[in-house]
Chains A and B, each alone.
Chain A
Amino acid sequence: MRLLIIEDDRESADYLVKAFREVGYVADLASDGEEGLSLADSGDYDVLVVDRMLPKRDGLSLIGSLREKGNRTPVLILSALGQVDDRIKGLRAGGDDYLPKPYSFAELLARVEVLSRRHGGPAEETTYKVGDLELDRLSHRVARGKDELTLQPREFRLLEYLMKHAGQVVTRTMLLENVWDYHFDPQTNVIDVHISRLRSKIDKGFERPLLHTIRGAGYMIRDGIR
C-alpha cells in the first residue's frame, strides 16, 4: 500500500513514516501544503494522511482542491482541533476520516487500513462470511455452522461492522463512531462489555474463536491465525 503523509512537524512525520514502513507500507512525506498537493496529484496513493494545519496551504483547502480536480483518494485528517464541530468541518471539506491529536499509532493504522479497503474493495456485499460464521444483511440472520444465532439489533450492527472489516483491526473509537454514532470518549470500558456479550454469543461453545482482542489496539474478527 502506498501512503502520502502531509505533516509539517518533522518529528511526528518521521515517526509516522518509520512506523508505516515497519508494517510494510510505502510512505512518502510532504512537509507543506503546496508540496503535498502536487505530490498527491501526481502520485498514485491509496490513502492520504493530512495534517490540518500546514504551512503554505492548510489541510482543508488542500483536500478541497484535490476533490475539485476529481481526485477521490481517501483522506484521513489529523488535527489538534478535536471537537465535534471541527470534525464535521473536516468531513465536509472532503475528508473521509478525522483523527484528533494526540492519537495512538494503532488507531491511525486501523483507520488507514479501513480507508484503503473502502477505496479499492468490492461493492458492499449482502452476506459476510468469516470461517463458519455467516451474516445475512438483508434477512438479518446470523448463523455459525448449523446453529442459528439470536442477536439484539445493536449486536447485529456491531457484528456487521466487524465482519465488514474482517481481518482488519477495528478500534474501540471506530466502533463507537460507526456503530453508535457517538464521537465522544467514554471514560469507561463500555465497548468492551458489548464485545464480550457478542463474543459469548458467537464464540462460546465453539472450538475456534473468531473474535479476537488485539492488545493495545482493538478487536478483529478472522478465521484462525494468519
Chain B
Amino acid sequence: MTAFGKLIRTTAFRLTLVYLFLFALFAASLLGYFAWNTRRLITEQITTTVNVEVSEISDIYARRGLRGLILSIGNRSLRPGANLYLVTTPSGQALAGNVGSLAPGVMATSGWSETAYRRLEDQDNTDHRALVRVTEMTNGFRLLIGRDLEERRRLFGIVAHAAQWSILVVVVLGIGGGIFVARRVLRRIDAMTGTTRRIMAGDLSGRLPVGRSGDELDRLAENLNAMLERIEALMMGLKEVSDNIAHDLKTPLTRLRNRAEEALASSGSEGEYRAALERTIEESDGLIRTFNALLMIARAESGQARGNMDDFDAADVANGIQELYEPLAEDDGMILHVKTAPARLHGNRELISQALANLVENAIKYGKPVPSAQPLGADAVAGTKEILIEARREGDQILLSVRDHGPGIPEGDRKHAMERFVRLEASRTLPGSGLGLSLASAVATLHGGELRLGDSYPGLIATLAIPALPAASDRLAAQTQDVPQKVA
C-alpha cells in the first residue's frame, strides 16, 4: 500500500472528510438562508414603496384629474433613483413616464409582475429587470409603477460569491487538516505496529511508545504495555513450570532407571532382585502420584472440574479430614484439633477435601516446633505441637484454615511456595512432590477464592478462602447459631 493510500484509509482522514462535508453543507445552508431572506426583505421593501406611490398617485388623479397625474408622473420620472413610472391611455399609448419599452402584455394585466424593461433615457440597448405593479384607473387609463431589481441581483451576487469562497476555504483547510491529523496518528500507529511486530517475532521485552499527552492512543499503549507485562510474566512462569516438570519428573525417572540397571548388572540373589523391583514399583508409584497431582491442578486451573459441584458444609469436610489424619498426627507426636462453625458453600467436595488434606499433611510434615524457639516451659512446648483445623464463615467467605506452630514460611517466600514443584529450602530433605500448596491454591481459585498463607506467631496459617453460599445459607447459619462449637 502506498503512503498516500495508507493516509487516506486512516480513520482520522475519513472522519475529516465526513466533517468537511457537514461543515460545507452547514456553510451553504447558512448563506443560502441569508441570501433568501435578503431577497425577500428587498422585495418587501420594493412592494411597500410601490404601494405607497400607487396610492399617492391615485390620490393625485382623483383630485386633479389626468393633467395632475401626468404632471406628477413627469416630475417623479425626473427624480434620480430606480423607480419606474408609466401612464397609458385605454388604447395603450404612453402618456408620461420614464419607461421606454416593456415585455409585451405587461400593461394589459393588472397586479404585480416581474418584467424586462428599458428606460427612456438609457443609451445602451440592454434589458433590465424590474418589479412592477399595474393599476387600472377610471376611464381606462393604466398606471405602472415599479422598481429596478439590479440592487437585489447585486446583493444576491455578493452572497453567492461569499458562499463559493467560504466553501472553497472550508474544503482546502479541511483536507489539509485531515492530512495533518491522519499523518500524526499514522506515525504513532506505525510506531506501535513496528513494536508489535518485534514482539511477535519473539522479543517479549519490547514495549509500546507512550506519549505524554495522555490521549486515547497513550492510554491504549499503556494498557497494551500492562498486558505485555502480564504475558511476559506468564510466559516466564510457564517456562519455570516446564523446567520444573522436566526436572522433577526426570529425576525420579533417572533414579528408576539407575536402580534397574544396577540390579541387572549385579549378580545378586533373588531377594536382592526382589528388593530392587519393589523399589522400582515404589518409585513409579511416586511418579504416578506426581502426574495425577499435576493433572488435577491443570484441571482445576482450567475450570473443568466445575461440573461436579454441589452444596455442602465445610465444617463436615474439616471434621472428616481431622478424623482421617488425627492418628497420623499423633504418631508424629502432634495433636490435631478441629474447631467448626456452620459454613455452607457450593463447590467440589472432593477437591476441597483434598486441598485441606494437603494443608494438614504439610502441617504434620513441616509444622513441628523449632526447638530453639521454645525457651518456655514444657507446657508451652506441648501447646505448640497442636495443629488446628478451623472451618467458619466470615462475612461472605468460608474460611478453612490449618494453623501450626512450626517455623512458618518467611513472608517473601509465601507466594513462591504456592507455585508448582517449589520446595522451600527447609523441606527439600523431606519426601513430597512440591505440589500440595499448588493444588490447594488451584482448588481455591477454581471456587473463586484464594489460598492465603499467613503468620500464626509462630508458625504458619494456611487458609482456603472461598465464597460462601448466599442468602439461603445465612438463614441456615442463623438457625444453627446456638449449636455449641465443636472442639475435638
Contacts and interface: CB of A to CB of B under 8 A. Distances in A.
A in complex with B: yes
Nearest to B355: A184
B361 A187 contact: yes
A107 to B, nearest CB: 11
Given A186-B361, A188-B361, A194-B327, A180 B351 contact: no
Contact of A187 (B281, B348, B351, B433): B433
Contacts of B357: 182, 184, 186
Interface in A161-192: 180, 182-190
Interface string B348-379: 10110110011001001100000000000000
Contacts of B348: 84
Interface in A52-97: 82-85, 88
B432 A187 contact: yes
B327 A83 contact: no
Interface string B456-481: 00000000000000000000000000
Interface in A145-162: 154
A193 B348 CA distance: 27
Given A83-B305, A85-B305, A186-B357, A180 B292 contact: no
Interface residues of B, number: 35
Nearest to B432: A187
A180 B305 contact: no
A181 B218 CA distance: 57
Interface string B287-326: 0110010011001000011011000000000001001110
A216 interface: yes
Interface in A92-112: 100, 102, 104
Contacts of B432: 187
B362 to A, nearest CB: 10
A197 interface: yes
B278 interface: yes
Tell me if A's interface is mostly helix, strand, loop or mixed. loop
Contacts of B324: 180, 182, 186, 190, 194
B331 interface: yes
A216 B325 contact: no
Contacts of B433: 187
29 contacts: A82-B292, A83-B295, A83-B296, A83-B299, A83-B305, A84-B348, A84-B350, A85-B307, A100-B292, A102-B284, A102-B288, A104-B285, A154-B323, A182-B324, A182-B354, A182-B357, A183-B350, A184-B350, A185-B292, A186-B324, A187-B358, A187-B433, A187-B436, A189-B328, A193-B327, A193-B328, A194-B324, A194-B327, A216-B278
Interface of B: 278, 281, 284-285, 288-289, 292, 295-296, 299, 304-305, 307-308, 320, 323-325, 327-328, 331, 348, 350-351, 353-354, 357-358, 361, 364-365, 431-433, 436
Given A84-B308, A188-B361, A194-B327, 5 more contacts: A182-B320, A186-B357, A187-B436, A197-B327, A216-B278
